[in-house]
Amino acid sequence: MRYARISDPAGVTRRGEYVEGVVKAAGETFDVSDPDVDLLPPCEPTKIVCIGRNYAAHAEERDADVPDRPMLFLKPPNTVAAPGSTVTLPAGKEQVEHEAELGVVIGEQARNVDADDAWDVVEGFTCLDDVSNRDDQSREQNWVRGKAFDAAAPIGPVVADPEDVPADASVELRLNGDTRQRGTRDQFIFDVPTLVEEITTYLTLEPGDVISTGTPAGVGPLSDGDRVEVEVEGVGVLEHTVRSA
């Protein structure tokens, strides 16, 4: 089953089951193609906890070592962008890149969760594009300019039940229709239970928070007018466009 959030024609936010382009909520059916219906981010994270270099091939293309423990960094709520949105690239930057990722949506407050119990706190999976400003990322250690600018995390379109997403689910990105990235969930260096345990050792995850699990090889530049599609097997396709500042 997959769930989506919408703003209905009256401006009311609703959450319901997503089936073939319609959302069933509160006894009504809403067509997401209706111009009076807005598809919203499928969750409202207080934070996105991102994982760096969780695919060996991506570490190699970044000319970096494979980490011996999960690399963690944060994207705050201002980075969240809805499906179908347009991401404005930071002004004056030469290298802003796409990063397709599988997002893990947390379903309940979680602190000090053992890996064996991790799935008890996971609501489901979604798609995410970790849009990255390399100009500044390469110059700073905390990556605020590189990763935390407005709308730097398009997310959606739905949250899919964990059992509907294969253990070897593909994670793919298409740029203007051309496939640029493709990996699989079973290529993670650190799997989802390991990530949940590591993160909750240090901080509390709240309902709606997202763990962005890392990107496969093939990251590349974005430019004005680009159309991005991030597809996770079992979840669906997140689409967004890009414009220059």
Q: What is the pLDDT of residue 4?
A: 98
| pLDDT of res. 99 | 98
Domains and CATH numbers, the chain: 1-40 (2.30.30), 41-243 (3.90.850.10)
Pairing mode, strands 236-243 and 86-88 = parallel
Q: Which residues pair with 195 in a beta bridge?
A: none
Tell me the three state secondary structure of residue 163.
helix
**Confidence (pLDDT) at 18:** 98
pLDDT recorded at residue 115? 98
Q: What's the pLDDT score for residue 150? A: 98
Within a 10 A sphere around the Cβ of 112, how many other Cβ atoms? 10
| Calpha distance 28→2 (Å, rounded) | 16
Residues in the chain where the model's pLDDT stays below 50:
none
Instruction: Please state the separation of Cα 32 from the chain's center in Å.
Output: 20
Q: What is the pLDDT of residue 110?
A: 98
Q: Which two tokens stand for residue 195?
A: 């990530």
Q: What is the pLDDT of residue 67?
A: 95
Please enumerate in sequence order all residues whose Cβ is within 8 A of that of 215, keeping only pairs 6 or more positions apart, or say none: 54, 55, 58, 99, 100, 101, 130, 171, 181, 183
Please name the residue ranges forming H helices in the chain: 56-61, 134-137, 144-147, 192-202
Are 137 and 207 within 8 A, CB to CB? Answer: no
- Supply the pLDDT for residue 198: 98
**What percent helix, strand, coil does the chain show, rounded to 5?**
15, 40, 40
The pLDDT, as a whole number, for residue 105 is 99
Q: Measured between alpha carbons, how far is 144 from 68 in angstroms, rounded to an integer?
A: 23
Question: CA-CA distance, 7 to 84, in Å (whole number)?
Answer: 14
The residue among 129, 144, 151 whose CA lies nearest residue 220 is 129
59 DSSP 8-state letter? H
- What residues form DSSP beta bridges with 45? none
Query: Tens digits of per-residue pLDDT, 167-179?
Result: 999 999 999 999 9
pLDDT digits (tens, 9 = 90+) for 108-165: 999 999 999 999 999 999 999 999 999 999 999 999 999 999 999 999 999 999 999 9
